[in-house]
Chain A
Amino acid sequence: MSRERDPLGLSHHWHVDLRIVAELPEDNVVGKRFLTNVVFSAVTVGVMLFTGWIGYQNWTLRHLIADWEKRMADNRPEVADIKHMQQEYAVESAKIDQAYALVKPQLFVSGFVIDLGRTRPEQMVIDTIDWTEAGIMVRGNVRENSQRAATLLGAYTKQLVQDKKIGPLFREIALTSLDRGAGSGDLLNFELTFRLKAPKP
């Protein structure tokens, strides 16, 4: 049997494989070392950017604080002046408040008298206006028959309650008396009572 035909025979180029595989350079298209370096570089760059951003924020905050402090320092004399002015204002207004607390008018009497004259019906005559603890009593007479006098005074009372100047001053405006008195004929005496609102504290 010839040597060439022997299937188990060694080829002419046969030799012992002496390579140390662990020490051979990589022959991959993208090396493991390259990939490792890329990952480490990416992480490092990311941390650099993050630290830079935090550093920028730190700088901005310091700048803003310095800016506010400068503005406050620049305006300090004016602020001190205004605060001094406020103290002075408190003292002056306390004086006014004390005066007002002592002589605060409950009613502007001359205005009230004028308003009564303005709203008074022609048939009505006012004889007295008295201010006592019970309220303001307006007494007078109406030269009308009793029915028309009652209607007139009822309407006048309503008019006073609804009047924009008189109404808000009083908690009650009422016709408290209507009589013929000692006289005769078409003369009826009346009494209107105005009760002031409680003074505000």
Chain B
Amino acid sequence: MNPLLAQFIALIRRYPYCAACTVVTLLLGGIAWFLIGQNEDLEAVRMDRAKEGEAMLTLLVGGSTQRQELAAAREAARRIEDNLVIETNLAENAFYFYKFEEQTKARLPELHPLTSPASDTSVLYRRVPYTLRISGTYEQVWSFLYAIETGPRLANITAFGFSRRDPDGAGITLDLSLELLGKK
């Protein structure tokens, strides 16, 4: 037998308790070393899960708000879609303005539809331009203008000219250029 091994065995026989303690310590040290490595991996996984979980909780907390926002967006989009102008539907488009004429008692002596600009890049909509002349008292003309700006069809006024028809009278003329949002 190797003398060194024989010496070692003799030492173990002489100190069996210490030998047992050494074996247990080495075994536990190995387990601890393995667990430390595993804990580092688990900590990384835990942080990932915590991040995902917190993001999920934030999402859930905002869920009801998002539901309301979606409902509002749907409603707004529906209102836009329902009130789009069809460029070729001249009678219905003209009726939209004449309806305001009736409501505000202003007069609409001129209404000219123009050609849509070809530069619009939108896949859903197009601009449908019009020029109008409105006449009446200040209140009537203003009411007509307000009705166009706040009416169901989206309108953008591109130019306007207010003028008094005669220096001393109450009559006003409004020349208006505007674009309505139309269907492509």
Contact = CB atoms under 8 A, between A and B. Distances in A.
Q: Is the interface of A mostly helix, strand, loop or mixed?
A: helix
Interface in B114-143: 120, 122-127, 142
Nearest to B162: A129
Interface stretch (B49-57, B95-103, B105-113): B49-57
B42 A65 contact: yes
Given A85-B66, A85-B67, A109-B149, A130 B39 contact: no
B42 A62 contact: yes
Given A40-B21, A51-B31, A89 B49 contact: no
Contacts of A132: 159
A155 interface: no
Nearest to A49: B28
A93 B73 contact: yes
B28 A47 contact: yes
B21 A43 contact: yes
Interface string A74-118: 010011001101101100110110110111111111100110000
B181 A54 contact: no
Given A37-B17, A86-B66, A132-B159, A75 B56 contact: yes
Contacts of B50: 64, 68
Interface in B143-182: 145-146, 149, 154-157, 159-164, 167, 179-181
A51 B35 contact: yes
B10 interface: no
Contact of B60 (A82, A95, A102, A108): A82
Size bracket, chain A contacts: 35 or more
Given A43-B21, A130-B160, A88 B70 contact: yes
Given A110-B149, A130-B160, A95 B46 contact: no
Contact of B32 (A47, A88, A109): A47
Size bracket, chain B contacts: 35 or more
Given A43-B21, A44-B24, A128-B162, A68 B156 contact: no
A88 B71 CA distance: 10
Given A36-B18, A44-B24, A89-B70, A110 B145 contact: yes
30 contacts: A36-B18, A43-B25, A47-B29, A48-B28, A54-B32, A57-B35, A58-B39, A58-B42, A61-B43, A64-B49, A68-B46, A68-B49, A68-B53, A71-B56, A72-B53, A75-B56, A79-B56, A85-B63, A89-B70, A92-B77, A93-B73, A98-B124, A99-B124, A103-B155, A103-B156, A105-B155, A109-B149, A110-B149, A131-B157, A131-B161
A72 to B, nearest CB: 6
Contact of A98 (B35, B122, B145): B122
A110 B146 contact: yes
B145 A105 contact: no
Contacts of A43: 21, 25
B25 A105 contact: no
Contacts of A121: none
Interface string A161-184: 000000000000000000000000
